[in-house]
Amino acid sequence: MGPMTVILVTLYNAAMTEFTMHEPYRFCIAPMLDWTDRHERYFLRLLSRHARLYTEMVTTGALIHGETQRFLQYDPAEHPVALQLGGCDPDELAYCARLAEQAGFDEVNLNVGCPSDRVQSGRFGACLMADPGLVARGVAAMRQASSLPVTVKTRIGIDDQDSDEFLQRFIEPVADAGCTHFMLHARCAWLQGLSPKENRDIPPLNRDRVLRMKRRYPALRFIINGGITTLQECQDLLQSLDGVMLGREIYHNPWLLASVDAALFGEPRQAQSRGDVLRAFLPYVRRELENGTALQHMTRHILGLYRGVPGGKRFRRHLSEQAHKAGAGITVLEDAIAMTEQEPFREIA
């Protein structure tokens, strides 16, 4: 290898590193029903510029027949933010994809991973893995109706159909329909016998299957979800995969997100301290209070901010006891902030 070749290879590797560091799906926050509402997403955006945010799952029926604008509401600061849909009818999915584009979302994500009985009764969620042709028709319809990226979040199997071959039979027709990004929760879903909560923990993780899918379909983008709790795990997985997706760990320990921009995107931290985050959250809280939002709907998402910090229990107790009271206002949060600036609170990186 001559000197010029070495220089060209070095420049190519540097360019690819720069591209990889800014992949839009490099770090994602999982959609979580009743958790990832617009208040939580705004709060998380204060911790990271680059994390990709997802709404909680919204059913096509709710968008078509319910309070459409309420389900599509978000703050512009949340971008990049994706709308996750639950549904199976291609025409309804297409209609909702158009709504998502009109509302300004950055992506439409189809839920093919939720195992709850209620979701199964509507014939969507994880049970759709058994009908990849229907999923493919839904993806094709959404892509035809909208210019937004259409992605799929799914499990790696259902019930006793727990094999590489089963997952391949799902991925191939869906990819042929135009889906290039798959968020794979690296557990099989049990549609009978386990609750949704048990389905998040009891089926064993099989990250190797996700890695094998990436090797088999290198042109597709695979984002891995399930059981990831540290940035070191993220860095290790990103050596082979296109993105990571964290859910419960970020919700219960949101300060972890403050290190993501520096550790995974090579950019300065968005937030230097937990106190900075809370002070930046105040204007949003004031505005929402004026619009009639109850304080507890916002503060419930920040209870884990001081997890692992001496005094953090006092912070959580103050908000838990005060924010739900009738007429609770901004002073409850201001008092909580003042409390964190006293001993025995201590910042832990």
What is the C-alpha separation between 190 and 157, in angstroms, rounded? 9
Cβ-contact 339, 314 below 8 angstroms:
yes
Q: How many CB atoms lie within 10 A of CB 183?
A: 27
pLDDT tens per residue across all 349 residues of the chain = 343 333 333 333 333 444 455 689 999 999 999 999 999 999 999 999 999 999 999 999 999 999 999 999 999 999 999 999 999 999 999 999 999 999 999 999 999 998 877 666 667 788 999 999 999 999 999 999 999 999 999 999 999 999 999 999 999 999 999 999 999 999 999 888 787 778 788 889 999 999 999 999 999 999 999 999 999 999 999 999 999 999 999 999 999 999 999 999 999 998 899 999 999 999 999 999 999 999 999 999 999 999 999 989 999 999 999 999 999 999 999 999 999 888 777 655 4
Residue 98's pLDDT is: 98
**Quick one: tokens of 316?**
């959580």
The residues annotated with a catalytic role in the active site are 114
Residue 125's pLDDT is: 87
What is the C-alpha separation between 36 and 43, in angstroms, rounded? 10
Cβ-contact 61, 87 below 8 angstroms:
yes
Residue 1's pLDDT is: 37
Question: What's this model's pTM, rounded to 2 decimal places?
Answer: 0.91
Strand, coil or helix: 153:
strand
Cβ-contact 232, 218 below 8 angstroms:
no
Alpha-carbon 251 to chain mean position:
10
Residue 11's pLDDT is: 38
Q: Over the stretch 229-249, which tens digit does the pLDDT of each residue have?
A: 999 999 999 999 999 999 999
What is the C-alpha separation between 177 and 199, in angstroms, rounded? 29
Helix (H) or strand (E) holding 225: strand 221-225
Residue 321's pLDDT is: 96
Helix (H) or strand (E) holding 137: helix 132-145
